[in-house]
């Protein structure tokens, strides 16, 4: 039984996963509404709330799994990348929990968690596979040959795809986080009504910042334009950029299986576009796409644990680890 903790951004998460990848519990306390009034995540507020919530969320994850801490064999925690103050709450809690019972601890790279989320549950994807992770903080393509590691094939050079959705939504007056609202509005619009730039920086890299500027100019120059048409066309441009790189990567790498993850994997147009690719596609349920601790405990299965007391000096890392 692996107890996982994840506090890299604004969700306080704890989960219990078995060695075989069965999810026994997956608790997510979202702070989303707290940050909405500021139009984005406020790091200091996030850290303070993690501190208030982490014990209750951990207790809840154990209770839902029908376990006590005594039944846990390993503790896993997100070490980075993320907001440093937020990460520190999870890392310190995990160290204390593990040390109290002399358990081993596994520090996990948050992105490795996203990449291997589709390896959880009754029908896990098997390497080799391609993974597209598109969230509010990250957008990249990874190749997975063995579950303990991944190779980044391409990534965004500026904004993440979720950030592009959120910034577009804000320009369209849809609030924060605007991805889901933009997705809904886009269903009522014509995706061919406007053409937005689909820049291609590197073969497998992404760039979304020009798109947002282009929407800003379009709103200024055509104030009467239908918001639904703008939303649909803007979403089409993001989805087309993601789909295009995924298709190229599948071909170039000779891969036949694809997993998608990150909050943007909840997007309805992206889901249907991925379904049309010539690959077997794994799209985990939304609670495994967005930040969660089950993916952290799941990734820990493939990594070497640090024995007690080797991890007592372990530090969180705001940047990518390893
Ligand atoms: O993975 P996530 O929950 O948090 C991190 O950023 O790590 O991703 C959140 C992002 C936000 O930018 C949100 O707007 C976007 O995912 N998102 C969506 C949809 N649902 C969430 N974007 C487009 N369409 C959606 N349906
Ligand atoms: Zn994430």
User: Which ligand sits nearest to residue 136's alpha carbon?
Assistant: 1
Same domain as 99, residue 243? no
Lowest average pLDDT, out of 175-189, 196-210, 217-231, 248-262, goes to 196-210
Same domain as 58, residue 158? no
pLDDT at res. 321: 63
Same domain as 42, residue 151? no
pLDDT above 60 for 40:
yes
Looking at the 3D structure of the chain, how many domains does it have? 2
Identify the three-state secondary structure at position 164: helix
Q: Give residue 37's pLDDT band: very low, low, confident or very high (50, 70, 90).
A: confident
Residue 133 lies inside a defined structural domain of this protein: yes
Same domain as 95, residue 139? no
Residue 318 lies inside a defined structural domain of this protein: no
CB atoms within 10 A of CB 187: 12
Same domain as 112, residue 134? no
CATH label of the domain that carries residue 65: 3.30.420.40
Atom of ligand 1 nearest to the CA of 178: 14
Residue 266 lies inside a defined structural domain of this protein: yes
Q: Directed axis angle between helix 179-186 and helix 268-275, to 10°?
A: 70
Average pLDDT over residues 69-97: 97
Same domain as 142, residue 244? yes
CA distance 199 to 205: 10
pLDDT above 90 for 31:
no
Residue 322 lies inside a defined structural domain of this protein: no
CA-to-CA dists, residue 321 to 40, 95, 267, 315, angstroms:
25, 18, 29, 11
Same domain as 241, residue 194? yes
| Spacing, Cα 217 to ligand 2 middle (Å) | 30
Same domain as 135, residue 242? yes
pLDDT at res. 30: 87
Q: Give residue 32's pLDDT band: very low, low, confident or very high (50, 70, 90).
A: confident
Same domain as 180, residue 32? no
Lowest average pLDDT, out of 32-46, 131-145, 252-266, goes to 32-46
pLDDT at res. 322: 56
Q: Which of 135, 167, 176, 187 to mutate to test the pocket of ligand 1 (most atoms within 8 A of CB)?
A: 135
Same domain as 241, residue 137? yes
Q: Whose CA is nearest to atom 21 of ligand 1?
A: 263
CB atoms within 10 A of CB 113: 27
Average pLDDT over residues 279-297: 95
Same domain as 279, residue 139? yes
Same domain as 132, residue 100? no
What residues make up the domain containing 246?
124-283
Residue 321 lies inside a defined structural domain of this protein: no
């Amino acid at each position: 039984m692996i107890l996982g903790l994840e506090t890299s951004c604004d969700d306080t998460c704890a989960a219990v996963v078995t060695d075989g990848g069965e999810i026994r519990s997956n608790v997510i306390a979202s702070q989303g509404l707290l940050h909405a009034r500021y139009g984005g995540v406020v790091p200091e507020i996030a850290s303070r709330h993690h501190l208030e919530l982490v014990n209750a969320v951990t207790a809840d994850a154990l209770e839902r799994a029908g376990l006590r801490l005594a039944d846990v064999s390993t503790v896993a925690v997100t070490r980075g990348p993320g907001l440093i103050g937020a990460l520190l709450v999870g890392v310190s809690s995990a160290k204390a929990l593990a040390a109290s019972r002399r358990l081993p601890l596994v520090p996990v790279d948050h992105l490795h968690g996203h990449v291997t989320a589709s390896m959880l549950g009754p029908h896990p994807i098997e390497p080799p596979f391609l993974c597209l992770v598109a969230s509010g903080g990250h957008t990249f393509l990874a190749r997975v040959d063995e579950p303990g590691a991944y190779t980044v094939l391409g990534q965004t050079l500026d904004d993440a795809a979720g950030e592009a959705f959120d910034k577009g939504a804000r320009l369209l007056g849809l609030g924060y986080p605007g991805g889901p609202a933009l997705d809904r509005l886009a269903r009522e619009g014509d995706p061919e009504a406007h053409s937005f730039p689909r820049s291609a920086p590197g073969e497998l890299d992404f760039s979304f910042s020009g798109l947002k500027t282009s929407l800003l100019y379009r709103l200024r120059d055509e104030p009467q334009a239908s918001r639904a048409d703008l939303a649909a066309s803007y979403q089409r441009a993001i989805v087309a950029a993601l789909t295009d790189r995924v298709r190229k990567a599948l071909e170039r790498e000779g891969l036949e299986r694809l997993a998608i993850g990150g909050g943007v994997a909840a997007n309805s147009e992206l889901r249907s576009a991925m379904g049309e690719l010539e690959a077997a596609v794994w799209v985990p349920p939304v609670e495994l796409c967005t930040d969660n601790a089950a993916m952290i405990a799941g990734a820990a299965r493939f990594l070497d644990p640090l024995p007690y007391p080797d991890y007592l000096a372990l530090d969180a890392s705001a940047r990518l680890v390893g």
